[in-house]
Amino acid sequence: MRPASRLEVGSLFQQRYRIEKLIGVGGMGYVYLASDLRLMGKTWAIKESIPIHYNQAHLLQEAKWLTELKHPNLPLIVDFYPPHEDDRAYLVMEYIDGETLAERISRQSITFREAVDLCIQLCDALSYLHGHSPPIIYRDMKPSNVMLTRLGQVKLIDFGIARAHKDEISSDTIKLGTLGFAAPEQYEDVQSDARTDLYGVGALMAFVLSDGHWQGHNSFRASMLRSDVPESMVSIILKLLSKRPADRYQDAHSLRTDLHGCLLTASAGNASQQDLVQPYSTGALNKGIVIACMSAAAGLGCTHASILIANVLNRTAHGRIAFIDYSSTELSVVEQLSTFIDGEERFYQEEQKLRYQGVDYFHTSHLKRKHDGNFLPFLLHEYDYIVLDIGFSQSSDHVDEFMRAAFSLLIHSISAWKHQQCMQAVHLLEERRFNQWICAVPHAGDKELRSSAARSYGRHLISVPTVSNPFMIDERIEKWLEQWFQSAAKKKRRFYFHKWLSS
């Protein structure tokens, strides 16, 4: 029987974290949502572990690993309280707003492309872990340990049975793993390695692409997969599920490469599929031009740049301007603006849009409810320019919108601590063979744009002008947008550009 938790809802932990609610229960403890009294508005997840005597050392090792690891597909750990006289340990970590893969599958099927995108992100996380010195072997790949955020990002959680690979030993000390998803060697007298985790990825893909029907309790057969799964993916899964590690992929990078090839082959063979990205057309029915801003990492200023663009268009171009906020409802810039502008909050609640300085601001949640999910065709008929503030997202649907736009601006950073995450965004677009986008770095001067860090991205970068108030537009900002549009037009996009853009 699991011992009772020492934390209570409403109590204060370490004089800083207010326990809000219980959000998870596992074999070794509890997970709570907590609000930070020092950082107002910030919430964290607090994991209370109840280690038995023999695994206290492993718990300390897990905490040490997690505080050292920094990767977008792994949870961020901010604090650790080791077990003392009460034999309880506490990890304070990033609260992941989303659901587990198991919860998602039980609620809704995952499209083939979403499944491949998910697997590619897992490959990125595993490449990072396996590249650690010594390599970290995760060993517990299963649907309940993979989180999907509301922005489409994958987070690999629960490192409870992860271990460091040691060349000098031949077998694992403890045989653990989840039945059905654990590789055969995890129950044998051999040491697990990177290929053990890749078996878990294969089991996970078989689970997802069978809509949860295959859970590893019986032998896998290709006939268990959905009809939309191509033969190339079947071959990948069969290779991953090989009983002998030597017959599997030998590293996550090789698997990642084949997954990209599988995705491109499937797309090329099904050019009429709804899944494929088609640009928004302009003409008699759709008069609007879509401008999309997406961020390569969180916190780079995508919303600021999007508002800036919308207001430049409102001042310079002739026509109606719409701004679409893709953020989660809690962080909605539209809702924040509606409370800031006198008399607009009530109007926003009633009309589901905010009009400010000639721009109509919408949030995607309201538009999807009104138009049954597919709202852009309606707006293209009503507005001349539509600015999409996609923000940081790895959602396939959001990336599709970025690719469909007439003008696509990827907000970037040349900071060393953002380099890896930014490169992932660049690779994601390159892998989908989409090159019609401009890379922009906020507040960068000419010297920074010519630096070795900037050149490492392999493409031309532009700057986003420094302006404290994106609603205050001057000629310098107008000139910047005009130059960006002209640069995009040179890429021979199939869109109609207004004369003022090239004047």
**How far is it, in rounded angstroms, from Cα 316 to Cα 306?**
15
**How far is it, in rounded angstroms, from Cα 288 to Cα 231?**
40
Q: Are 442 and 424 in contact (CB under 8 A)?
A: no
**How far is it, in rounded angstroms, from Cα 92 to Cα 48?**
9
Query: In terms of residues, how long is the chain?
Result: 503
Binding residues for ATP: 47
Maximal C-alpha separation, the chain: 75
Neighbours of 503 (CB within 10 A): 6
Q: Are 202 and 127 in contact (CB under 8 A)?
A: no
**How far is it, in rounded angstroms, from Cα 463 to Cα 302?**
13
Is residue 310 within a helix (H) or strand (E), and if so which, with residue range?
A: helix 302-316
* SS3 state at 291: strand
Q: Render 382-394 in DSSP notation, one character per residue.
A: H-SEEEEEEEE--
* SS3 state at 159: coil
Is residue 461 within a helix (H) or strand (E), and if so which, with residue range?
A: strand 461-464
Give residue 49's Cα distance to chain centre. Answer: 28
* Amino acid making up residue 93: M
**How far is it, in rounded angstroms, from Cα 107 to Cα 143?**
13
Q: Pick the closest to residue 263 from 109, 98, 156, 399 (CA basis).
A: 399
Binding residues: 47
- Please state whether the peptide bond connecting residue 134 to the residue before it is cis, i.e. omega within 30 degrees of 0: yes
* SS3 state at 425: helix
Q: Are 205 and 237 in contact (CB under 8 A)?
A: yes
Report how far apart, in Å, the C-alpha atoms of 299 and of each of 159, 302, 411, 412, 468 are: 27, 8, 10, 10, 16
Task: List for the chain the helix, strand, coil content (%; round to 5).
Answer: 40, 20, 40
Q: Are 297 and 413 in contact (CB under 8 A)?
A: yes
Q: Render 225-257 in DSSP notation, one character per residue.
A: S-TTS-HHHHHHHHHHT-SSGGGS-SSHHHHHH
Q: Are 192 and 137 in contact (CB under 8 A)?
A: yes
**How far is it, in rounded angstroms, from Cα 324 to Cα 357?**
15
- Helix axis angle, 194-209 relative to 252-269, nearest 10°? 30
